[in-house]
Amino acid sequence: MFEELFTGGRTVTTDKRSYEQQIALLKEQLEKADAVVIGAGAGLSTSAGFTYGGERFMKYFRDFHERYGIRDMYSGGFYPFERPEIFWAWWSRAIYFNRYVKIPSDVYDNLHRLVLDKDYFVLTTNVDHCFQKAGFDKKRLFYTQGDYGLFQTEDGRNGKTYDNQEWVEKTMEAQGFVHGSDGFFQLPEDQPLKMEIPTELIPRSPEDGSPLTTNLRVDSAFVEDEGWHRAADRYEDFLRRHRNLHVLYLELGVGMNTPVIIKFPFWQYTMKNKNAFYACVNYGEAACSEAISNRSVCLDADIARVLRDLLA
């Protein structure tokens, strides 16, 4: 029923109002809302500066680009490296520069300022920990797709996850990265990086020595650990408690790759609750179901700009 309603004969509409009118309406809804449910996709972190390609990719992965022709961090995660020592060198860099470094802009801080005094909850498909780094209450966050900062066993059968920060730091040092003045790693001067890690640093389970992998939802072996289930329960409870109140469903940077996690449910919740309002902010892909267009605003604009203007 859900997919028939939103994927087959779906009718979507864009917002023809001026940007200034859209900002005024969204600001009004933020002020009046009893609760705000934030749905965050990859576009939010892209707007914050966590880009997977271009200059940022070439700065830290130029050697992998030159040897293997890899063009961005996303596709590199699927490359069939010939040895696990190289595979994990790639992944330690990808994890570090997308999980453990400072957020390079004020995007998440501004979003936090907007909802700090509101009753809010965050549902996100992002795995970069940016919400926690910006000060969001971790009990108001549900990371549905995993966390760069966690490992799990390859088969996932034990249902456990493992923190990987210490491992990441060791593998970054093993490749030749050096500690910067602010406590973070940076490129060494005039010295090539190693594109592999020592065999003994290949991650293994502390219980039985079985191989570990990233805790990212790429297949059915993905581990939904105790923390994941507690967050899921808190999210469902939040939705239940605010079911008929004035709820603003604020969708940021969510595309059509996995719309069944955030976008389509937000449309459905808005349709079911006559007091709800839906807002979509997504550069190049801002639209909503025609059925809720009278209670929606869709901004085809950069998220960073929108958040700053809402705070102005």
Q: Where are the domains of the chain?
A: 2-46+105-147+225-311, 51-102+165-202
Task: Give yes or no for residue 108 having a pLDDT over 80.
Answer: yes
Does CATH number 3.40.50.1970 belong to domain 2-46+105-147+225-311? no
Residue 42 has pLDDT above 60, yes or no: yes
Residue 10: the pLDDT is: 59
Q: What is the pLDDT of residues 146-179, one digit of tens each?
A: 999 999 999 999 999 999 999 999 999 999 999 9
Do the Cβ atoms of 223 and 157 come closer than 8 Å? no
Residue 86, both tokens: 């190289």
Give the pLDDT confidence score for residue 13 in this predicted structure. 87
Q: What is the pLDDT of residues 177-236, one digit of tens each?
A: 999 887 789 999 889 999 999 999 999 999 999 999 999 999 999 999 999 999 999 999
* pLDDT reading at 4 higher than 60: no
Structure tokens at 202: 């290949």
Name the strand (E) or helix (H) holding 249. Answer: strand 247-252
Q: What is the pLDDT of residue 11?
A: 72
The span from the CA of 113 to the CA of 27, in Å, is 13
Residue 2, pLDDT score? 29
Q: How far apart are CA 295 and CA 298, in angstroms?
A: 10
> Which pLDDT score, from 0 to 100, does residue 257 have?
83
pLDDT beyond 70 at 7 = no
Task: Please give the pLDDT value at position 180.
Answer: 87
Give me the pLDDT at residue 183, please.
Answer: 77
Which residues make Cβ contacts (< 8 Å) with residue 217, sequence separation at least 6?
144, 145, 146
Give the ranges where the chain is alpha helix by DSSP (H). 2-3, 19-32, 42-47, 54-68, 73-76, 84-95, 107-115, 130-133, 165-175, 226-241, 263-272, 303-311
Name residue 121's beta-bridge partners: 37
Q: What is the pLDDT of residue 8?
A: 46
For residue range 240-286, what is the model confidence (pLDDT) as tens digits?
Answer: 999 999 999 999 999 988 899 999 999 999 999 999 999 999 999 99
**CB-side neighbour CA atoms (13 Å) of 72:** 7
The confidence band for 48, taking pLDDT boundaries of 50, 70 and 90, is very high
**With 70 as the cut, is the pLDDT of residue 3 above it?**
no
**Interval 124-144: pLDDT, tens:** 999 999 999 999 999 999 999
Q: Is the pLDDT of residue 311 over 80?
A: yes
Q: Where are the beta strands (DSSP E) in 10-80?
A: 12-13, 35-40
